Amino acid sequence: MNYENIICDKEQGVAQLTINRPKKLNALNRETLKEINDAIKILESDDEVKIIILTGSGEKAFVAGADIAEFADFSVEKGTELAQKGHQEVFDKIAQLKKPVIAAINGFALGGGLELAMAAHFRIASDNAKMGLPETSLGVIPGYGGTQRLTQLVGRGRALEMIMTAGMINANQALQYGLVNHVVPQDELLVFANDLAQKITKNSLVAIAYAIDAVNAFDDKKENGFKKEIENFGKSFGTNDFKEGTQAFLNKRKPSFPNS
């Protein structure tokens, strides 16, 4: 996969998708979002890829926001379309992906960058990371899921404070808030992310996909999360992974999941 603004590599079942616009601190422009959408589609259908790590190039930034110059003169209609398209083609797509996505946050994750990280299934941060939603300082609000996902992750009060002040928090604050799962030294970030990914790939990817679906139902007002859990729990019994997992347990051996 050859792209202008992202790099996509894969090894041992793990794909690393890197936003690569270092001169712009990896800011998201329309072309970059298109490339992310395209790469996610390919990785989703690639049977060799079991998990995706999302990160930014260099040590300064994961993604330092959206490319403001692209939408500075937008009308109400164009602004609405921008947010809607972003949700459908990138942010919601990542959140609903059946394959696990880990965001490895190196440096600044601001605005659309933090929204991209929050769309991932969970987040790891380097100790120099800074996170925030500065949109209100530009006279606008987060438009790629920030108001919703931040509230779900850190609670209403902290989310509103971050949005209203347009300020940044550091990695340790993000860990305290529950915004990230782990904080590690900068030079250990991707090693740590890959180690976690390898642990995940040893489990049933079919069961993981059902779990992601059930957890996402918690956030969906139209879904009953408990009902979805019961449904997906039942479906698990019809999979080859369930047969392998239970037989491996009963025979005191490690499972070798067919992921089917």
The residue with tokens 């398209």 is 85
Query: From CA 162, how far away is CA 190, in angstroms rounded?
Result: 27
Catalytic residue among 4, 70, 115, 244: 115
- Based on the residue annotation, tell me whether 89 is a catalytic residue of this protein: no
Strands 130-132 and 168-170: antiparallel
Q: How far is CA 228 from the centre of its chain?
A: 22
**Catalytic one of 31, 81, 135, 231:** 135
- Distance (Å, whole) CA 46 – CA 43: 5
CA-CA-CA-CA dihedral for 93, 39, 123, 204, to nearest 10: 80
Give 222: exposed, middle or buried? Use CB within 10 Å, 0-12, 13-18, 19+: exposed
- Catalytic, 161? Answer no
Q: Is 55 helix (H, G, I), strand (E, B) or coil?
A: strand
Residue 245 tokens read as 């997992």
Active site residues: 115, 135
